[in-house]
């Protein structure tokens, strides 16, 4: 049994996997919650499972990952394996000249998407604390990507830097708002949708056919429902990639 862990800037998400079964995703907020280690301990003890491998993807501080590694050692006497972005793996080539600077969540989402949907161009979207969009050709060449603030960060930047926009975060209901909170919701939603749709258009030109849009992340469903172009939502895309990353046959060439 493997325990796969994705540490984002807002939440820690985890999934138990063995050869045949993947558990549903579980998550807890670690930001501003110093007791997250004891909450994790309760959650993992109650799973009544003993992992033989613990794999970690971390884009938060190393302090969070270190505390988690201590817990894993205390519970099961295991060292965690920490994934990182690379030049090449599993048929995917990274466009970054310094791949170690890319967030590993982006790299793993690309590996996961390529494993599932290789053979067509892909546009991989992770809608979390930040929103990332990355384009892969049908042959697995990463063409590059974009990073923008996620839904909550976009809202908070407005709430924190204006006098007359109160801190009220709503889901967007219509394209155009008719009061402040709905205008913010519409603006934030359209910023994300516009970024993805524009990238899809440019990627279609660059790749010669319409890419499949693979979406993951806490705000993924909401983003997908606003897109005109077809998309698939894969909540455990980063875990698919982490599982692939840890497989012995996927040694980095």
The catalytic site residues sit at: 105
Query: Between residues 184 and 241, which has the closer beta carbon with respect to K ion?
Result: 241
**What, of ligand ATP, K ion, ligand PAU, none, does residue 101 touch, CB below 5 to 8 Å by kind?**
ligand PAU
Any binding-site annotation on 215?
no
- Name the residue among 6, 188, 216 with its Cα closest to residue 103: 6
Ramachandran region, residue 228 (left: φ > 0; alpha: ψ -120 to 50; beta: rest): alpha
What six digits make up the tokens of 45? 């003890």
Residues contacting 74, CB < 8 A, separation 6+: none
Any binding-site annotation on 216?
no
What six digits make up the tokens of 222? 């909401």
Q: How far is CA 86 from the centre of its chain?
A: 17
| CA distances from residue 135 to 60, 84, 118, 158, 183 in whole angstroms, order as listed | 23, 19, 12, 29, 30
Q: Does 102 bind ligand ATP (CB under 6 A)?
A: no
Contacting ligand ATP (CB under 6 A), which of 106, 117, 151, 213? Answer: 151
What residues are paired with 27 via a beta bridge?
13
- Name the residue among 134, 145, 140, 86 with its Cα closest to residue 114: 140
Site for ligand PAU in 21-80 (CB under 6 A): 59
Q: Which residue is nearest to K ion (CB)?
A: 128
Q: What are phi and psi of 163, to 5 degrees?
A: -90, -30
CB 196 within 8 A of CB 146: no
Contacting K ion (CB under 5 A), which of 5, 8, 137, 172? Answer: 8
Q: Does 128 bind ligand PAU (CB under 6 A)?
A: yes
Query: Between residues 44 and 236, which has the closer beta carbon with respect to ligand PAU?
Result: 236
What six digits make up the tokens of 155? 């809202």
Q: Does 130 bind ligand ATP (CB under 6 A)?
A: yes
Q: Does 240 bind ligand ATP (CB under 6 A)?
A: no
Any binding-site annotation on 88?
no
Residue whose tokens read 């546009």: 123
For residue 149, the minimal CB distance to ligand PAU (Å) is: 10
Query: Between residues 137 and 216, which has the closer beta carbon with respect to K ion?
Result: 216
Any binding-site annotation on 194?
no
Q: Does 10 bind ligand ATP (CB under 6 A)?
A: yes
Return d(Cα 93, Cα 204) in angstroms, integer: 19
Site for ligand PAU in 136-155 (CB under 6 A): 147
What six digits make up the tokens of 176? 């155009």
**What, of ligand ATP, K ion, ligand PAU, none, does residue 106 touch, CB below 5 to 8 Å by kind?**
ligand PAU
Contacting ligand ATP (CB under 6 A), which of 86, 134, 189, 219? Answer: 219
For residue 7, the minimal CB distance to K ion (Å) is: 9
* Residues within the interface to ligand ATP (CB under 6 A): 8-11, 29, 59, 105, 128-130, 150-152, 217-219
Binding residues for ATP: 6-13, 129
């Amino acid at each position: 049994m493997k325990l796969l862990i994705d540490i984002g800037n807002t939440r820690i998400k985890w999934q138990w996997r063995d050869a045949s079964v993947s558990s549903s995703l579980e998550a807890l907020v670690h930001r501003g919650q110093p007791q997250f280690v004891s909450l994790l301990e309760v959650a993992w003890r109650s799973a009544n499972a003993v992992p033989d491998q613990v794999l970690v993807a971390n884009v938060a501080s190393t302090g969070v990952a270190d505390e988690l590694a201590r817990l894993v050692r205390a519970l099961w006497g295991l060292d965690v394996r920490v994934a990182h972005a690379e030049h090449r793996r599993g048929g995917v080539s990274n466009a970054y000249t310094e791949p170690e600077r890319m967030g590993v969540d982006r790299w793993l989402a690309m590996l996961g998407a390529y494993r599932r949907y290789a053979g067509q161009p892909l546009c991989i979207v992770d809608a979390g604390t930040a929103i990332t969009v990355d384009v892969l050709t049908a042959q697995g060449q990463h063409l590059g990507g974009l990073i923008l603030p996620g839904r909550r960060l976009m809202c908070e930047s407005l709430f924190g830097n204006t006098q007359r926009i109160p801190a009220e975060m709503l889901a967007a209901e219509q394209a155009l708002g008719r009061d402040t909170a709905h205008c913010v919701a519409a603006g934030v939603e359209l910023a994300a949708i516009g970024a993805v749709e524009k990238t899809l258009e440019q990627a279609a030109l660059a790749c010669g056919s319409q890419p499949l849009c693979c979406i993951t992340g806490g705000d993924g469903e909401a983003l997908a429902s606003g897109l005109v172009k077809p998309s698939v939502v894969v909540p455990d895309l980063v875990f698919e990639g982490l599982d692939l990353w840890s497989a012995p046959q996927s040694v980095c060439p």
